[in-house]
Chain A
Amino acid sequence: MNGTSAQDRIVKWIDQRLPVFTFMEHELREYPTPKNLSYWWNFGSLAGFVLVVMIVTGVVLAMQYTPHVDYAFSSVERIMRDVNYGWLLRYIHMNGGTMFFAVVYIHIFRGLYYGSYKPPREVLWWLGLIIFLLMMATAFMGYVLPWGQMSFWGATVITNLFSAIPWVGDNIVTWLWGGFSVDNPTLNRFFSLHYLLPFVIVGVVVLHLVALHAVRSNNPLGIEMKGPQDSIPFHPYYTVKDYFGLGVFMIVFALFVFFAPNFFGEPDNYIQANPLVTPPHIVPEWYFLPFYAILRATPDIVIPFTNVILIEAKLAGVIAMFGSIVLLFFLPWLDTSPVRSARFRPVYKYFFWLFLVDAVVLGWVGGNPPEGMFIVIGRIATAYYFLHLLILMPLIGRFERPRPLPQSISEPVLKGGGRAAASASAKPMEKA
């Protein structure tokens, strides 16, 4: 083959002026990635894919949607009934939101299990949390746009929370609403911001990837790559693995879009918003349920043995809810363990699963009315959440005896000949 084909020359011409090809070669093809990444490492690229799907479907849907209280609901139904493939775009966007959070939650819990937030990956972790916060804001505002009963009442409940802020609370809420209740000004500004924020998310994702490349990927063993024997180039190994993972993901996604598109939704949102009729149960989308449970768990904070209320239940709930996420920013310091991966942390490993169960319990509580046993369980689960982060993680890290770490990533491979052999002979060390 000729050294300088026409294609090579074009590539060189562009690359000299804008080094995209060198960039891709360096960051995608050559980029050293640990050779032992499991499928739990697929979820970052899946999240990126879903983000693109949401933006593309969102932009096309926005061409047909009308952000006015009198037309929003019927414009969405027009999309479902009259716009060519409108039902498909709407159901992809709707279920894409669910998929986005499902994928991101798995991605976060992967990080929690393998210590991906530990030095030198603290900033990477923070950028991820910022993306998560932006996602929550985007999803919250997006859910208001169809202007169903849940859209309206969910918006009313959550925006009302800000009134708990002392002194300026009510003014802030009026400012947020653009009026004296959730109404047309609110809907219009939510539409504007819902269109804007995903592009802010794209920006933070870029930073997230830059931060990742600065410190390189973590891996299931939690030990750093020591040399080329521990790594493989990202392309073709992880590109091909990501594509396969994407295929599996799309099968699950398509199952919901085509055969159960309203599974994650609330029937009440197919009723047009009515400010004069409150639905019997106001519930947010499933991915907000754990935070909803924490929000409703707090009682009035009183001075013991008196009736003096220090912090009202509503404000305490808001503080607890935001606190539950803010606390995660401090995780690199709350976790005192010198070892990253839970594979080598026999005590932490069980508390990790307990924490996951607690998150699921919180979600279950959030989906139920705050009555009877749900209140008790909600309070216990909320208390445990904070106990885990504030007390257990610092203590476990300090007092736990970690299992001995392997010398290097490739060492178990060299010694036993493949993961299968290693897991057979070194059961407690290698099994997740």
Chain B
Amino acid sequence: MANSKAATGEAGAHGAGETRRDFLMLATGAVGAIGVGAVIWPLIDSMNPAADVLALASIEVDLAPVQVGQRITVKWRGKPVFIDHRTPQQIEESRKTPMSELKDPATDEQRAKKPEWLIMVGVCTHLGCIPLGQKQGDPRGPYGGWFCPCHGSVYDTAGRIRQGPAPRNLVLPDYAFLDNNRVKIG
């Protein structure tokens, strides 16, 4: 629509009246285009996450009830997050692993900000199943970490991929400790 306004101004550049008309057309077309852009933005932005969705974009988890050796699952942005209160043996084992054995190399320090708390998104990096290992009696795989039943991916005690088709380690979300007993995820 703005085009036709500018287009009609193209008829002849001779005469002061005509060029004034051209300018007016062009200027109005520009102002109109700004208006159209200003109208389009709310339509697009309304499809972005709304305030109530954003409010759930981060969660605070109370870690006090989680015993050493216990694993809990919390929901964050619609996905499960594994929180593992690791034993010193698990931390030790993880630290001793040579990088050459890892498909997706990462040190234990890189995997956990505080070594006793391992926090990862519980979604297998292969095709998205939820690995087993959170509940008592779940198979944990040969490394004592997690085992994905869908296609056999095996994760170690730092959530790193060791066997199976998954290409990457379990994803680490953004998180920060608010104090010794509380962590904010996201």
B3: min CB distance to chain A, Å: 11
- What secondary structure prevails in chain B residues at the interface with A? helix
Contact assessment for B50 and A84 in the assembled complex, using a CB-CB cutoff below 8 Å: yes
Is A86 positioned at the interface, with any CB of B under 8 Å from its CB?
yes
Mask of B158-178 contacts with A, CB within 8 angstroms, 1/0: 000000000000000000000
Contact assessment for B50 and A86 in the assembled complex, using a CB-CB cutoff below 8 Å: yes
Is A81 positioned at the interface, with any CB of B under 8 Å from its CB?
yes
Is A301 positioned at the interface, with any CB of B under 8 Å from its CB?
no
Contact assessment for A85 and B46 in the assembled complex, using a CB-CB cutoff below 8 Å: yes
A2-25: which residues lie under 8 A (CB-CB) from chain B? none
- Given A235-B4, A239-B4; A82-B52 close (CB under 8 Å): yes
Contact assessment for B52 and A85 in the assembled complex, using a CB-CB cutoff below 8 Å: no
In the complex, chain B residues whose CB is within 8 Å of the CB of A243: 5
In the complex, chain A residues whose CB is within 8 Å of the CB of B70: none
Contact assessment for A64 and B46 in the assembled complex, using a CB-CB cutoff below 8 Å: yes
How many angstroms from the CA of A88 to the CA of B38 in the assembled complex? 13
Contact assessment for B4 and A84 in the assembled complex, using a CB-CB cutoff below 8 Å: no
How many angstroms from the CA of A78 to the CA of B52 in the assembled complex? 8
In the complex, chain A residues whose CB is within 8 Å of the CB of B53: 82
How many angstroms from the CA of A240 to the CA of B2 in the assembled complex? 11
- Selected from B42, B47, B50, the residue in CB contact (under 8 A) with A82 is B50
In the complex, chain A residues whose CB is within 8 Å of the CB of B16: none
Contact assessment for A86 and B8 in the assembled complex, using a CB-CB cutoff below 8 Å: no
- Given A235-B4, A236-B8, A239-B4; A89-B46 close (CB under 8 Å): yes
B51: min CB distance to chain A, Å: 4
A214: min CB distance to chain B, Å: 24
Mask of A276-307 contacts with B, CB within 8 angstroms, 1/0: 00000000000000000000000000000000
- What secondary structure prevails in chain A residues at the interface with B? helix
- Selected from B43, B47, B51, the residue in CB contact (under 8 A) with A81 is B51
- Given A88-B42, A239-B4; A60-B47 close (CB under 8 Å): yes
Is A420 positioned at the interface, with any CB of B under 8 Å from its CB?
no
Contact assessment for A60 and B50 in the assembled complex, using a CB-CB cutoff below 8 Å: no
How many angstroms from the CA of A163 to the CA of B43 in the assembled complex? 42
How many angstroms from the CA of A201 to the CA of B3 in the assembled complex? 27
Q: How many residues of B contact A (CB 8 A)?
A: 13
Contact assessment for A84 and B42 in the assembled complex, using a CB-CB cutoff below 8 Å: yes
Is B136 positioned at the interface, with any CB of A under 8 Å from its CB?
no
In the complex, chain B residues whose CB is within 8 Å of the CB of A83: 46, 50-51
A314-358: which residues lie under 8 A (CB-CB) from chain B? none
Contact assessment for A84 and B52 in the assembled complex, using a CB-CB cutoff below 8 Å: no
- Given A82-B51, A84-B48; A60-B4 close (CB under 8 Å): no
Is A421 positioned at the interface, with any CB of B under 8 Å from its CB?
no
Is B45 positioned at the interface, with any CB of A under 8 Å from its CB?
yes
How many angstroms from the CA of A64 to the CA of B4 in the assembled complex? 35
In the complex, chain A residues whose CB is within 8 Å of the CB of B43: 56-57, 60, 85, 89
A206: min CB distance to chain B, Å: 19
How many angstroms from the CA of A365 to the CA of B41 in the assembled complex? 42
- Given A78-B52, A82-B52; A63-B8 close (CB under 8 Å): no
In the complex, chain A residues whose CB is within 8 Å of the CB of B45: 84-85
A232: min CB distance to chain B, Å: 14
In the complex, chain B residues whose CB is within 8 Å of the CB of A86: 46, 50
Closest-by-CB residue of B relative to A236 is B8
A221-259: which residues lie under 8 A (CB-CB) from chain B? 235-236, 239-240, 243
What are 27 sample pairs from A and B whose C-beta atoms fall under 8 A apart? A56-B43, A57-B43, A60-B47, A63-B46, A78-B50, A78-B52, A81-B51, A82-B50, A82-B51, A82-B52, A82-B53, A83-B50, A83-B51, A84-B45, A84-B48, A84-B50, A85-B42, A85-B43, A85-B45, A86-B46, A88-B42, A89-B43, A235-B4, A236-B4, A236-B8, A239-B4, A240-B5
- The 7 A-B residue pairs whose C-beta atoms are closest, nearest first, are A85-B42, A82-B51, A82-B50, A82-B52, A83-B50, A84-B45, A236-B8
Given contacts A63-B47, A84-B42, A84-B45, 10 further A-B contacts (CB under 8 A): A82-B52, A83-B50, A85-B46, A89-B43, A235-B4, A236-B4, A236-B8, A239-B4, A240-B5, A243-B5
